[in-house]
Amino acid sequence: MKVTVFGTGYVGLVQGAVLADVGHEVVCVDVDAAKVKALKAGRIPIHEPGLAPLVRDNQAAGRLLFTTDAAAGVAHGELLFLAVGTPPDEDGSADLQHVLAVARTIARHMQAPKTIVNKSTVPVGTAEQVAETVRAGLAARGVEIAFEVVSNPEFLKEGAAVADCKRPERIVIGASSAAALHQLRELYAPFNRNHDKIVVMDVKSAELTKYAANAMLATKISFINEIAGLAERLGADIEAVRRGIGSDPRIGYHFIYPGLGYGGSCFPKDVKALIHAARSAGLTPEVLQAVERRNDAQRQVLAQRIAAHYGGNLRGKTIAVWGLAFKPDTDDMREAPSRHLLAALWDAGAQVRAHDPAAMNEARRIFGERPDLTLCATPAGALQGADALAIVTEWKIFRAPDFGQMARLLKDRIVFDGRNLYDPALVARHGLRYYSIGRPSQ
């Protein structure tokens, strides 16, 4: 099938490459000429396992093209995917300016019937807004051309986006016509062979499904973090509690790891947007508001623990930080817990020596050159000259460190673990003071 994808961020680039990999003819359109030039040259702007070879192979095969020519993109695709950003507005609502800008572009250039597939995370009712925008654009041209607007939300996890796209757990399609549904079934047939993963519903329900899914996962994270705080007060071990409740199949083990709160480009934005949607509909979203408050507080836990240990005086102290990305296997630092920690450490007068396996360039872009930040090439390099270590992201490379070396290098022999990576007794045997989340300190 001929497919055009507007937007080459996480969703658009991954979706376009995976569709091309099964034989569809895909054109990706972006307004950023520099990004398009880089993609044509095989340079991938994001860190995502497996994505670079997928893009390069399908470009070489001629199934995946990149362009800034929106008219050519509209002409090419029988299916036009909207995969542009929907950043939070000041009131927490999703900003639809990029989505509606693409809708206007489609209306300006389309010459034949099209099916418009909304892949972006958008509020309920956005498909109607897109349809109204396209109708208005066609009317301004004095033409009538048939089109459909379908909701097909993405459920990709950063760090596993290619695998998720190749082997989706479910394919949600919100469509109002049998013809559009047939097109989407044909498009996704290569991913739907083992058993039927397609979940069909009305458009509004599909739009809400994406927000509800992310809000549910965010709720699990905030819940376990709240229980972790209670475990500390009561002298219990949250890791034992986690295993105890996770063994119940109604709860499961996913998303009940205590830590430093959720971050990234999705959960914070989507929870805010759903809260705004509820309020706009006259409903007070008590649970969602509590989830957001718990998360805001959890982001400060590690900084508060470090400050408390040092009696509030961090001037002259150097803290090693392991992990800057908001999660492993990505270089994304949007809403990352590390940013809150670093800001608090700098405000308190501390120096930071940091390492991340993927996000060093992103950290340089965000923070620039500053005297209180040293970006180190290795985890051990970050420990050199540091008083204490703070673990922020649970990269695999941090899971089995040389504790003897750690004890030798850290002047104060203290580890503040925001991800509960280690056995407290093991750390203590190496002469290190160990603080974690929801467990007694050692």
Catalytic residues: 266
- Determine contact, residues 49/329, Cβ cutoff 8 Å: yes
- Determine contact, residues 421/398, Cβ cutoff 8 Å: yes
List, in order, residues 6 or more apart from 75 with CB less than 8 Å away. 109, 111
Alpha helices in 29-174 (DSSP H): 33-40, 51-60, 70-76, 97-109, 126-141, 161-166
Give the bridge partners for 28, in sequence order: 5, 66
Closest CA to 48 of 91, 18, 88, 81: 18
Alpha helices in 189-284 (DSSP H): 203-234, 238-246, 267-280
Residue 420 falls in which region: left (phi positive, over 0), alpha (psi -120 to 50) or beta: left
Q: Which two tokens stand for residue 25?
A: 């003819």
Q: Which two tokens stand for residue 200?
A: 């069909």
- Determine contact, residues 355/70, Cβ cutoff 8 Å: no
| HSE-up (13 A, CA, CB side) for residue 360 | 14
